[in-house]
């Protein structure tokens, strides 16, 4: 089976390029499962229920997030009210946030062709807020998950922590895909026990920017240390993702391919 994962969608330029390409990508690659990271989908900071619904209408099966998940206040009630069978239940926040935080960090579903799958969202702790241990959280959740096809979005800053998670889960999940740093890495591979891996899938948004934000605003922050606005940039918009081919019986990956599309 084929899984398509799209990296951090950034603002309206990111959403637009997803709209433009996703149907073609899904059809030509016979994609069975589509997962999109949406932590920056609303103006670069957070995501709204309306944007989640829009991406579900475009065919997303599960939406993952990260540290920016709480930036738009309306997402809290949406995640808190997510009952079984609701589309909100298919929007994940990292599983290793404290249990009182709204929402869920994992989802188990069934593809249209009848393959059970799970998606797990975790957040790193190196150079990020200190949540529960992502490694032990993965252990705990994997004990409960029955599906063989398991995709992990590991939202983390440090390359070392992401590589470590890849090896920790090698042979136990279908894919460990890094998000958060917004720059795609060139280490796309299948690890020795059959887990597809990439340290960072890269952002889906404007690359004429500093990781999505207008570059003049970021430079001003670095040059003056003064607070200021951060707006989503608009130029050189690209879609970044990975296509994973896996065996639905075992959940092990056979291949992972990087995708970068322009407008
Ligand atoms: Fe992000
Ligand atoms: Fe992030």
Q: Which ligand is nearest to the CA of 41?
A: 1
- Res 50: pLDDT: 98
pLDDT tens-digit readout, 137-158: 999 999 999 999 999 999 999 9
Non-local CB neighbours of 207 within 8 Å, separated by 6+ positions = 235, 236, 237, 238
- Res 84: pLDDT: 86
pLDDT tens-digit readout, 58-107: 999 999 999 999 999 999 999 999 888 899 999 999 999 999 999 999 99
Catalytic residue among 21, 68, 155, 182: 68
- Res 161: pLDDT: 98
Length of the chain: 263
From ligand 1's centre to the CA of 203, what distance in Å? Answer: 7
Q: Which ligand is nearest to the CA of 213?
A: 1
From ligand 1's centre to the CA of 212, what distance in Å? Answer: 9
C-alpha–C-alpha distance, residues 199 and 126, integer Å? 14
Region of 243 on the Ramachandran plot (φ > 0 left; ψ -120 to 50 alpha; else beta): beta
C-alpha–C-alpha distance, residues 56 and 123, integer Å? 23
Q: What letters, b where the CB count within 10 A reaches 16 and e where it falls short, cover 216-239?
A: eebeebeeeeeeeebbbbeeebbb
From ligand 1's centre to the CA of 243, what distance in Å? Answer: 19
- Res 140: pLDDT: 98
- Res 263: pLDDT: 81
Q: Which ligand is nearest to the CA of 11?
A: 1
From ligand 2's centre to the CA of 87, what distance in Å? Answer: 22
* Domain hosting residue 173, numbered range: 2-262
pLDDT tens-digit readout, 201-223: 999 999 999 999 999 999 999 99
Non-local CB neighbours of 262 within 8 Å, separated by 6+ positions = 236, 237, 238
- Res 166: pLDDT: 98
3-state class percentages of the chain: helix first, strand second, coil last, to nearest 5:
30, 30, 45
C-alpha–C-alpha distance, residues 176 and 168, integer Å? 10
Average per-residue pLDDT for the chain = 97
- Res 169: pLDDT: 98
Closest to 6 measured CA to CA, from 113, 29, 233? 29
| Residue 246 pLDDT > 90 | yes
- Res 1: pLDDT: 97
Q: Is position 68 annotated as part of the catalytic site?
A: yes
Closest to 8 measured CA to CA, from 139, 201, 152, 173? 201
Across residues 109-130, what is the average pLDDT? 96
Across residues 158-163, what is the average pLDDT? 98
Instruction: Quote the number of domains for the chain.
Output: 1
**CATH code for the domain of 109:** 3.60.21.10
Q: How many CB atoms lie within 10 A of CB 72?
A: 18
The pTM (predicted TM-score) of the whole model is: 0.97
From ligand 1's centre to the CA of 181, what distance in Å? Answer: 6
Quick check: 150 and 118 in contact, CB under 8 A?
Answer: yes
Q: How far is CA 17 from the centre of its chain?
A: 16
- Res 206: pLDDT: 98
């Amino acid at each position: 089976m084929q899984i398509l994962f799209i990296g951090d969608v950034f603002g309206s330029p990111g959403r637009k390029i997803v709209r433009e390409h996703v149907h073609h990508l899904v059809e030509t690659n016979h994609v069975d499962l589509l997962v999109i990271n949406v932590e920056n989908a609303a103006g670069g900071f957070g995501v709204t229920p309306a944007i989640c619904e829009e991406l579900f209408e475009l065919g997303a099966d599960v939406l993952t997030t990260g540290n920016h998940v709480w930036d738009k206040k309306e997402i809290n009630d949406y995640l808190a009210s997510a009952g079984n069978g609701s589309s909100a239940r298919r929007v994940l926040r990292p599983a290793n946030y404290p249990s009182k935080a709204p929402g869920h960090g994992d989802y188990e579903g069934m593809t249209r062709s009848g393959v059970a799958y799970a998606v797990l969202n975790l957040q790193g702790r190196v150079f990020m807020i200190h949540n529960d241990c992502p490694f032990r959280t993965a252990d705990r959740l994997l004990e409960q998950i029955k599906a063989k096809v398991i995709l992990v979005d590991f939202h983390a800053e440090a390359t070392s922590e992401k590589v470590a998670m890849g090896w920790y889960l090698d042979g136990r999940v279908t894919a460990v895909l890094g998000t958060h740093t917004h720059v795609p890495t060139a280490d796309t591979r299948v690890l020795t026990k059959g887990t597809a891996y990439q340290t960072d899938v890269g952002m889906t948004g404007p690359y004429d920017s500093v990781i999505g934000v207008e570059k003049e605003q970021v430079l001003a922050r670095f040059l003056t240390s003064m607070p200021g606005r951060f707006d989503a940039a608009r130029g050189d918009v690209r879609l970044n993702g990975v296509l994973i081919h896996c065996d639905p019986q075992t959940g092990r990956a056979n291949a992972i391919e990087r995708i970068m599309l322009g407008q």
